[in-house]
Amino acid sequence: MTTSETISHDELQSWLLDRIAFYLDRPPENIDPSVELARYGVDSVYAISIISDIEDHLQVEVDVAEARRRETVTDLTDYLLQLLA
C-alpha cells in the first residue's frame, strides 16, 4: 500500500483485526473492535509488533506512545486514518 492510495475505515479496521488475531492466535471474528485490546492480552510486545506491521503496511511513521493510548481497534483505526489524511 502506498500513502497515495485511500483506505476506508472498514478496510483498515479489518486489516488491523487480522493482524491482532494473528498475534493472539485467534479468529479475527472473535475480536470485538470496541473492546479494550488489553482485555484480549495485547501487551507491549504485541503492541510494538502490531505498530511495526502498521508502519510497513501503510508506509507511515506511527508515534508508539500515541498509538498505545488508543485502547480499542476502533480508536486505533481512527488515529491511523488521521495520520493518513
Secondary structure (H, E, C), the chain: CCCCCCCCHHHHHHHHHHHHHHHHCCCHHHCCCCCCHHHHCCCHHHHHHHHHHHHHHHCCCCCHHHHHCCCCHHHHHHHHHHHHC
pLDDT at 7: 87
pLDDT of residue 3: 45
pTM above 0.75, yes or no: yes
Per-10-residue mean pLDDT of the chain, 85 residues long, equals 70 96 95 95 91 94 92 96 91
